[in-house]
Chains A and B, each alone.
Chain A
Amino acid sequence: MESDKDNASLLGGKLSVINVGLDKFATELADHDVPVVHLDWKPPAGGDPKLAALLSKMGT
């Protein structure tokens, strides 16, 4: 569990961010000169659970 002290430290200090998924968050941060690395990630099979299950059985 994070303490209030940890949160205060996180929000009060200098941020370095890894953004996963939607790139808009990374763009917003970059526009405010926050160092950010964007990871282009999508849910497996575009989020289709049946297709993802098939792929899992097919060895991906």
Chain B
Amino acid sequence: MDIIEKANEEAIRRMLGAEPVLINVVPAREIVPNLQDKMILHAGPPIEWDRMCGPMQGAIAGITVFEGWANDLNQAFTMAASGDIAFDANHHHDAVGPMTGMTTVSQPMLVVENKTTGNRAYCAINEGLGKVMRFGGNDAEVLNRLAWIRDVLGPAMGKALRDMGGIELKPLIARGLSMGDEMHQRNVACSGLVLRAIAAAMAKTSDDGTELSEALAFISANDQFHLNIAMAMGKAIMDPVRDIDGSSIVTAMSRNGTDFGIRVSGTGDEWFTAPVEMPEGLYFAGYTEADANPDMGDSTIVETIGLGGFAMGASPAVAGFVGAGAASEAANYTHRMSEICATENPEWTIPSMDYLGVPTGIDVRLVVDSGIAPTINTGIAHREPGIGQVGAGVVRAPMACFEQAVRRLAEKLGIS
């Protein structure tokens, strides 16, 4: 249909025309729209307390103690279950968060501005691997690290970014793809590039050598440090693509550990949800599939812009890490995702695939017609609260979300 094709051309124009820049780190209370005290933003489509999975409830209890709204985890669980805490989806507040995706007032938020359209998107700073809040960790070690990020790392990064005028992310991603990252489960190269870009400005703006050293060491030791930057970038790119009449391009994919949800440009901010699936992958020593929680997090925003599972061909190493098969299989994932996307990104290319651009603009019509569901590279959380990450794997977006979206878009267009 002409109206859909024209709408999708506009959607792709906005996606490819975006100029995302990491400009600042600011406490959430100062910058995240409509975020209030005793309010917790979480990953995925909206969900009530009773339907939340174990890690999500564990993280909520932990962040409630971290914010000082409860004295201990037991009190926090009671408050959360009795309605004393308000919950909402990150996506409703220009924000995203990995795995459980906790966003609350005192957390420092990475700020990515889309210079083309002027909109901003936010994500908290990555905590590292293992026992961390995004995987449901909530003990003293987790909360102490969050306090250090709030008091030391966040302010140091904010000062540096303001001093240096920000970090342009489009060329950084292009370089990272050529260095073997797919920006979801492998961010080794991009994390290093961010460190290189920001280190001098952090040194210049620091007045405490010990804190500076700790901050630089933290970034250096965290291979996934760049993930949260990529996520805020993805949100900043995709938000201007919302609400184009007739467009069948996906603007968000997200999971809360119970439901998988997508949004589509031509159907506005409506969520199309289905039960989330279990990742298939590899487990850390001592853990098995029986320990795993279903798929979770806003991090699928990176697949929505053509990275992660869509850019698997750039990252043969990640195919092994997530249990997706041989390195030679990585390119096949990218080829399959090309079949469900409107175009390729000429600025984000994969050298080993003859500079093929990453598949860009997931079209719900193509997903349903072909039966090919988006491939997502993901971390795997333990199903019980408080334990953390137990593996990494690959998961498919549920086809039912895309079928609902096609029917709703058809209805809006008067097609029956």
Interface residues of A, Cβ cutoff 8 Å to B: 42-46, 48, 51-52, 54-55, 57-60
Give 19 A-B contacts (CB < 8 Å), ordered by A residue: A42-B370, A42-B371, A43-B371, A44-B369, A44-B371, A45-B369, A45-B403, A46-B403, A51-B407, A52-B369, A54-B407, A54-B416, A57-B415, A58-B4, A58-B410, A59-B4, A59-B5, A59-B365, A60-B365
B366 within 8 A of A: yes
Residues of B near A44 (CB, < 8 A) are: 369-371
Which residues of B, 267-311, contact A by the 8 Å Cβ criterion?
none
Residues of A near B265 (CB, < 8 A) are: none
C-beta contact mask, B329-369 vs A, less than 8 Å → 1, else 0?
Answer: 00000000000000000000000000000000000011011
Question: A55 to B371, Cβ gap below 8 A?
Answer: no
**Bound complex: CA of A52 vs CA of B369, how far in Å?**
7
Interface residues of B, Cβ cutoff 8 Å to A: 1, 4-5, 248, 365-366, 368-371, 399, 403, 406-407, 409-410, 413, 415-416
Residues of B near A55 (CB, < 8 A) are: 365, 368-369, 406
Residues of B near A45 (CB, < 8 A) are: 368-369, 371, 403
B-side interface mostly? helix
Question: A46 to B399, Cβ gap below 8 A?
Answer: yes
Question: B369 to A60, Cβ gap below 8 A?
Answer: yes
A25 to chain B, nearest CB (A): 18
Question: A58 to B409, Cβ gap below 8 A?
Answer: yes
Question: A51 to B4, Cβ gap below 8 A?
Answer: no
**Bound complex: CA of A43 vs CA of B407, how far in Å?**
18
**Bound complex: CA of A51 vs CA of B406, how far in Å?**
8
**Bound complex: CA of A27 vs CA of B1, how far in Å?**
39
Residues of B near A48 (CB, < 8 A) are: 403
Q: Of all chain A residues, which has the CB nearest B248?
A: A58
A56 to chain B, nearest CB (A): 9
Question: A54 to B410, Cβ gap below 8 A?
Answer: yes
Residues of A near B371 (CB, < 8 A) are: 42-46
Question: A58 to B407, Cβ gap below 8 A?
Answer: no
**Bound complex: CA of A48 vs CA of B371, how far in Å?**
11
Question: B369 to A57, Cβ gap below 8 A?
Answer: no
Residues of A near B5 (CB, < 8 A) are: 59
Question: A57 to B1, Cβ gap below 8 A?
Answer: yes
A36 to chain B, nearest CB (A): 17
Closest 4 CB pairs of A and B: A42-B371, A60-B369, A59-B1, A60-B365
Residues of B near A51 (CB, < 8 A) are: 368, 403, 406-407
**Bound complex: CA of A44 vs CA of B399, how far in Å?**
13
**Bound complex: CA of A60 vs CA of B8, how far in Å?**
13
B247 to chain A, nearest CB (A): 12
B400 to chain A, nearest CB (A): 10
- Known A51-B403, A58-B410; further 11 A-B contacts with Cβ < 8 A: A42-B370, A45-B371, A46-B371, A48-B403, A55-B368, A55-B369, A58-B248, A58-B406, A58-B413, A59-B5, A60-B365
